[in-house]
Structure 1
Amino acid sequence: MDTILKLGVPKGSLENATIALFQKSGWRIKLSSRNYFPEVDDPELSCSICRPQEMSRYIESGMLDAGITGKDWTLENNSDVEVVADLVYSKVSNRPTRWVIAVPGDSDITRIEQLEGKKIATELVNVTRRFFSQRGIKVDISFSWGATEAKAVSGLADAIVEVTETEATIRAHGLRVIHELMQSNTQLIASKEALADPWKRDKIETIAMLLQGALRADRIVGLKMNVPREKLDLVIDMLPSLNAPTVAQLYKQEWFSVETVISEHQVRDLVPKLKKSGAEGIIEYTLNKVI
């Protein structure tokens, strides 16, 4: 039985965010500037750095057992792999990214139907081709090796299909979004062969559980405080929580320790109210994982 799991880590914009997520989940991946095989503090893992655009192909072929890539690139490659977990994070935020259709700001085009017979530049060729084909709109799609926004600005294309999180880059190039083609997010994917191996399946599912737990803990904090008996019900009624607050009586005291987990944005408004209601020794602490 092979007790080494070959794991792909995405190169490029997702690289640092992925390594940070793994660290929060319990794995330290150490990169070297000239090495595509980073060190990892788990003897059961072997890591490789791969472009997200190629990840699903390497996994489908058996070169890797599992890896992190975007839903968009798995669809683009039409790869026969299994999605183990959706992991919604990116280099900017924990939100899905968007593939949008954009045109120059001074273009008369406002609807996708007006792109009939027009030239479109994109890196996501196959998905874009299927999108327009399903709607019966004939367009000329060309592959863009990068700097896609410039294709529309310079007149090399009438429109582009490009990925964005905030649309800041698109607007900075004087372009205007006319349609959202699809949303995408990062995913942990695995080969069917790896998932058929009980040991590898267990390892992959463990990684998925801990990664999702780390993401679930993002912007969630723990809140702990001491509350006198006569104020306990008042304070408990004020506390949001995932399930219910944990309450424990202090040793030989008429005071209670109260602990809960809440969204980070609630803390600034809640803590002053708790203090006024009789809570003392209020502690806020970060969470690594919520399983």
Structure 2
Amino acid sequence: MTLRIAVQSKGRLFEETMELLKETGIKLNNTKRTLLVRANDFPVEVLFLRDDDIPQAVATGVTDVGIVGENEFVEKNEDAEVAKRLGFSKCRLSLAIPKDIDYKDVSWFNDKKIATSYPHILSTFLKDQNITAEIHEITGSVEISPSIGLSEAIFDIVSSGATLVSNRLKEVEVVMRSEALLIKNKNLEAEKSAILDDLIFRIDAVQTAYKKKYIMLNAHESKLQDIIDLLPGMNSPTVTQLASNGWCSVQSVIEEKRFWEIITKLKALGAEGILILPIEKMIL
């Protein structure tokens, strides 16, 4: 039994998905030229598709699961189920207008023409806001629409905002935030569900380790409780008696964002021989 996974065939989401699969121990060959690739050491095969085809492929059972941007999943509105939010390829879907226009609130969009590749999401938002506007659906280069007179505003993906700036546009309303999703067919067989559970277990182990560091240090017993209070770890730090009388080795996990704050406090408490190691996987 093999679990088929649909993956975007190119772009940033493709790159980040391939890196995630690699970190979970799934090795693929010839991904550049082959539509369907079988993993060497895990019961999955990867089907490479356009991002906007993945929700339908999963919903109809052409593929069992898929990794797709939340924006495409919501836009296509297919009958599939979110198995896990993956937390990468983050972006937002926003309304933007020419930078020189004075904007006060969403009512500005009444009776305006808006260009977008996401008409379903946009129409739902406008309806919720009681806004009546003309939606002009196009694919690609949405950001040039106002400058060529095709629309008065756009609704599109925004990451850094640099594309908007280069086209003399400004973001005025964030409609939704998006990230990569692992979606699944609602009628997945029991054996395939078991494989999916194993895959999610591996993904959890990889993602739990993100932005965390393993720390080892030596400390005198007189300072041990203060250091334990500073290093709670996942449950509690590991403490081992050293050969030197009155000294212990302490091991724990810290968040990378607090790294320098914690190191400074540890040194103030007399910690010595501080060693910081990257974490590849973490099983809770």
Deviation at 1:108, TM superposition (A): 4.0
The answer to whether the 8 Å contact 2:218/2:249 transfers is: yes
Aligned equivalents of 2:100, 2:259: Cα separation in 1: 46
Letter in 1 for 2:18: I
Which one of 224, 237, 240 corresponds to residue 248 of structure 1? 240
Aligned equivalents of 1:282, 1:100: Cα separation in 2: 46
In the other structure, the counterpart of 1:93 is: none
The answer to whether 1:48 aligns with 2:47 is yes
Superposition map of 1:117-128 within 5 A: 117-128=111-122
SS of the residue 1:14 aligns to: helix
The answer to whether the 8 Å contact 1:31/1:39 transfers is: no
The answer to whether the 8 Å contact 1:29/1:40 transfers is: yes
Q: So what's the TM-score if we normalise by structure 1?
A: 0.89
**Distance verdict in 2 for CA 1:285–1:114, change over 3 Å:** same
In the other structure, the counterpart of 2:8 is: 10
Letter in 2 for 1:36: L
The answer to whether the 8 Å contact 2:68/2:183 transfers is: yes
Which one of 185, 188, 191 corresponds to residue 179 of structure 2? 185
Which one of 210, 213, 228 corresponds to residue 236 of structure 1? 228
Aligned equivalents of 1:109, 1:154: Cα separation in 2: 21
The answer to whether the 8 Å contact 1:188/1:208 transfers is: no
Moved over 3 A (4+): 29-32, 250-254
Letter in 2 for 1:10: Q
The answer to whether 1:265 aligns with 2:263 is no
Which one of 89, 96, 102 corresponds to residue 102 of structure 1? 96
Which one of 146, 161, 180 corresponds to residue 140 of structure 2? 146
Superposition map of 1:1-291 within 5 A: 3-11=1-9, 12-90=11-89, 96-194=90-188, 197-250=189-242, 254-290=246-282, 291=284
For these two proteins, the number of residue pairs brought into alignment is 282
1:99-138, CA deviations, whole angstroms, 9 ceiling, x for partnerless residues?
0000011234443222222111111111111221233322
**Distance verdict in 2 for CA 1:277–1:54, change over 3 Å:** same
Letter in 2 for 1:210: R
Gaps spanning 5+ residues in structure 1: where?
A: 91-95
Deviation at 1:38, TM superposition (A): 3.7
1:12-67, CA deviations, whole angstroms, 9 ceiling, x for partnerless residues?
22011111122222223345332222453334111111222211100111110001
Aligned equivalents of 1:240, 1:266: Cα separation in 2: 13
SS of the residue 2:194 aligns to: helix
Deviation at 1:271, TM superposition (A): 2.2
Deviation at 1:236, TM superposition (A): 2.0
SS of the residue 2:146 aligns to: helix
The answer to whether the 8 Å contact 1:241/1:260 transfers is: yes
Deviation at 1:247, TM superposition (A): 1.3
Aligned equivalents of 2:55, 2:230: Cα separation in 1: 47
Q: So what's the TM-score if we normalise by structure 2?
A: 0.91
The answer to whether the 8 Å contact 2:26/2:42 transfers is: no
Aligned equivalents of 2:14, 2:257: Cα separation in 1: 27
Deviation at 1:82, TM superposition (A): 1.1
Aligned equivalents of 1:77, 1:276: Cα separation in 2: 56
Gaps spanning 5+ residues in structure 2: where?
A: none
